[in-house]
Structure 1
Amino acid sequence: MLQLRVNSMPRRTAYALVMAATLAIVSGGCGSAEHAADGPAPAVDLGKLDVGNYETKPRQLGTVKNLQQAKTIEAERLGNFVPPPVDIDPRFVHNDPFIATVFTDPKYSIGKIMAVDRFAEAAPDFVSGFLSFGSTEEDSRGIDLMNAVMIFPDEQKAADAAVALERVDLEAAERNTAVAIPKYPAAHAHWQPNQQSIGSWYATGKFVVYTWIYDYLKIHIEKVDLPALVALVEQSLDTVVPSISKFNPAPLDQLMSLQIDVDGMLDRTIARPAEDGWLNPPGAYNGHTAIHFLSDLGDRKAMEEVGVDRFATNGVDLYRARDGAAAAVLRKEFGGVTKKFTGAEPPANLPAAECKEYIGRQNLAIRFYCSVSYGRYAAFSASHQLLDAQQRISAEYALLVNSK
């Protein structure tokens, strides 16, 4: 386990800071899901919408086009079975948008919480993975909990990888000391006796679960409590292991037959421009899985109240709610102004849409956000330029209409 300074940013790479500073694309709303939607939406002439260069015609994404995309889709499929930390312990109510959740390369996901320079040596058969993150406090003041679930071709290769990954991380720092996880004796774990942090690698089926815990407060006051760390690892595995056991990874020889979009959710999102460069690739997920991508986990209540069952992220974020009224409520909840947002000019000829501007103090925050709902769908765009945010949401509205 790598030695981390208390005042450092162990989870944030320079790449992430530049490319994934999405502050609150789906947070900061006002009101509640008990509010009814407004009256019927005004008629919209799609031909008068400014959609920029965004495509507004439906498309069929079909099967994966290459092995890299296939591994990414496999990681996204896995994500529907990886519990967010708040499901493990209700204290973990904060997310971090600077972390890559879907990964085929560990550099931008677990690269700051374990030694990955020898990852390929230790885990040559690694397929892809999905990472969950939660913290008890904001701004590195509480306890961080991560679970990186990694897929391997078979059980033996997963078991071998768990041993090897722990070994190369153990060897990365002289103070690392092996630790037993009594409830999971097959787990391989270590910590640094002067630091309230622990890493555990546990093979289960075709998966390796890497659990990482870092307690900033105890490290700051120079206190250690190994039993507390071990207990939290066990509690985490108690939730993660039975959940991921419900997922059946595709055999390696069938990866190239995976569908990019199983139910049209991703087809209903505008394509992401190449210059966006978000950490996570476009993808479609079950509604509960959207919790992994929320900046404010308080927003999950609104999602649950309106019955969100599917979520997709691409050039916009798109949620499918219970019905049209519920989608309109979600748009208000997530798209409304708060003390950190002020209203911005909506896109021309689309009265159903609203935009807002971030006026808070967070560095690198995306400045402009727009939102709209149509039928069961609520869509949210974000951009550093107001015109681009407006064009995205206009194009998304047109695409939703054209996808009927």
Structure 2
Amino acid sequence: MLQLRANSLPHRTVYALVMAALVFVSGGCGSDEQAAAAAIDLSKLDIGNYDAAPRQLGTVKSLEQARIIEAERLGNFVPAPLDIDPRFAHGNPFVATVFTDPKFALGKIMAVDRFAEAAPDFVAGFQSYGRTDADTKGIDLMNAVMIFPDEQKATDAAAALERVDHEASDRNTAVPIPKYPAAHAHWQPDQQSIGSWYATGKFVVYTWIYDYLKVYLEKVDLPPMVALVQQSLDTVVPSIAKFSPTPPDQLMSLQIDMDGMLNRTIARPKEDSWLNPPGAYNGRTALHFVNDPPGTLGDIEKAGADRYATNGVDLYRARDATAAAALQKAIGGLTKRFKSAAAPANLPAADCHEYIGREMMAIRFYCSVAYDRYAAFSASPQLLDAQQRISAEYALLVNTR
């Protein structure tokens, strides 16, 4: 089992903070928002090169896209670490949550050079990642759920994936998981870390735990790690059992969108740096993409947000217009880490903020707007781009029925 260093996360993922930081802006009440909308001339909005025309995405266009959509569908059934143990209250924006290539999602914590050999029938995967401490001074918990065509192939893959990872280091030692005797697991006796591969139905659940503090203190304690693996599986296994994977011969019939959410988001520019593809999800699935899962959970539950999409902006669908306007305000607001920035030209309903905190990789500018049931959030290193994104998103929301 490979060991993850505190500074080993990829730096190409700066734009992932757009989804993860959730440090956006405030809005007004629903009735005021609707009244303001009636006075906005869409033709006068500066939308730059963004397309605000309505569209229909239809069915997937390639097998790779189908695999991605299947992974996103699975994501609605993968528990967030917060659901497993409330200690895991911090997200991680530097993780490829949706994956078809294990190199980007698992390459830092598992030997993936022989992945294709061990799991040749792998379809797609969705990964959840949580921390007990935001600054890697606590415990990391990761669950990667991988789909296979049938139960036998999942069973075979779990054993083979553990074997090739075990063979990657002569320090790895097999560990039983008493409550799940079919699990294949190992650890390094001088490191407070463990990896477990467990087949259930058509899925393989790879659970990885790393305790930074105990590693730093050069302490090892196996029983708590085994107990946490079991606790994690207790939550993950029954939840993913509710998901029905698409038969392999029907993958090309999958719809790209979910309830028109992606149709209502502007497209992500090719210049953006990102780990996860555009996607539409249940509202609660947003917890996998944010830094503050507890705070976000409270906000979306209060707003009755049942859908979430990420593309060129982040978009939530709330209970009604009043709840959407309140969600826009709740998901950020002006704090000591931000100062006000200019609103987009001719869009007074939107708000923009500039980040002035100490996080070196944080995106600098954030804008938001609410329209009808939808609350939208943009982010960019450039204020004009953040303004153009939110202006284009507003126009798209108005134009899309």
Which TM-score band applies after superposition, normalised by the shorter structure? over 0.9
Task: Please state whether the residue corresponding to 1:259 is helix, strand or coil.
Answer: coil
Q: Is residue 26 from structure 1 mapped to residue 18 from structure 2 by the alignment?
A: no
In the alignment, which residue of structure 2 is the partner of 1:47?
Answer: 43
1:341 paired residue number? 338
TM-score for the superposition, normalised by structure 1: 0.95
Deviation by residue 1:183-241 (Cα, 9 ceiling, x = unmatched)? 00000000001111100000001100000000011111111111100000000000000
Q: Secondary structure at the match of 1:182?
A: coil
What CA distance in whole angstroms lies between the structure 2 residues aligned with 1:231 and 1:209? 16
Aligned twin of 1:133: 129
Distance 1:369 1:385 in 2: 9
Q: What amino acid does structure 2 have at the position aligned with 1:2?
A: L
Query: Aligned AA for 2:32?
Result: G
- Displacement after TM superposition at 1:19 (Å): 5.0
Give the CA deviation at 1:29.
6.1
Residue 357 of structure 2, aligned match among 355, 360, 368: 360
Q: Does 1:269 align with 2:265?
A: yes
Are 1:377 and 2:384 counterparts? no
Secondary structure class of the residue paired with 1:318? strand
Counterpart contact for 1:76–1:130, Cα < 8 Å: yes
Which sections of structure 1, spanning at least 5 residues, go unmatched?
none
Q: Is the 8 A contact 1:335 1:354 kept in 2?
A: no
Give unmatched runs, 5+ long, in structure 2: none
How do 1:5-404 and structure 2 match up within 5 A? 5=5, 8-10=6-8, 12-16=9-13, 18=14, 20-22=16-18, 25-27=21-23, 37=30, 39-40=32-33, 41-42=35-36, 43-297=39-293, 298-404=295-401
Tell me how far apart the structure 2 counterparts of residues 277 and 15 of structure 1 sit (CA, whole Å).
6
Aligned-pair distance for 1:92? Answer: 0.3
Amino acid at match of 2:10: T
Deviates further, 145-154 or 361-370: 361-370
- Structure-1 separation of matches of 2:24 and 2:16: 18
CA, structure 1 residues 313+130, in 2 after alignment: closer, same or farther (shift >3 Å)?
Answer: same
- Letter matched to residue 205 of structure 1: G
Residue in 2 that maps onto 1:2: 2
Q: What is the percent sequence identity of the aligned residues?
A: 73
Cα pair 2:126 2:145 within 8 Å, conserved: yes
Instruction: Give the CA deviation at 1:139.
Output: 1.2
| TM-score normalised by length of structure 2 | 0.96
Counterpart Cα distance in 1 of 2:58 and 2:66? 12
Provide the rounded CA distance (Å) in 1 between the counterparts of 2:29 and 2:379. Answer: 26
What is the Cα deviation at residue 21 of structure 1?
A: 4.2
Give the secondary structure class of the aligned counterpart of 1:20: helix
- Whether the 8 Å contact between 1:27 and 1:299 is mirrored in structure 2 is no
Q: For residues 110-166 of structure 1, what are the alpha-carbon distances to aligned partners after superposition, in whole Å with 9 as ceiling and x for unaligned?
A: 111111111111111111100000000011100000000000111111111100100
Shift of 1:339: 1.0
**Is the deviation greater in 216-225 or in 385-394?**
216-225
Give the 3 Å change call, closer, same or farther, for CA 99–371 of structure 1 in structure 2.
same
Is the partner of 1:388 in helix, strand or coil?
helix
Distance 1:278 1:310 in 2: 21
Distance across 2 between alignment mates of 1:3 and 1:366: 29
- CA distance in structure 1 between the aligned counterparts of 2:175 and 2:379, rounded to whole angstroms: 44
1-structure distance, mates of 2:373, 2:199: 40
AA at the equivalent of 2:58: G
- How many residues align? The count is 397
Q: Indicate how the Cα distance of structure 1 residues 217 and 317 shifts in structure 2: closer, same or farther if over 3 A, else same.
A: same
Query: Distance between the aligned counterparts of 2:90 and 2:4, measured in 1?
Result: 20
1:294-349 Cα distance to aligned partner (Å, 9 max, x none): 12222221111111100000000000001000000111112422111111111010
Instruction: Confirm or deny: 8 A CA contact 1:25 1:382 kept in the other structure.
Output: no
Give the root-mean-square deviation of aligned CA atoms: 1.6
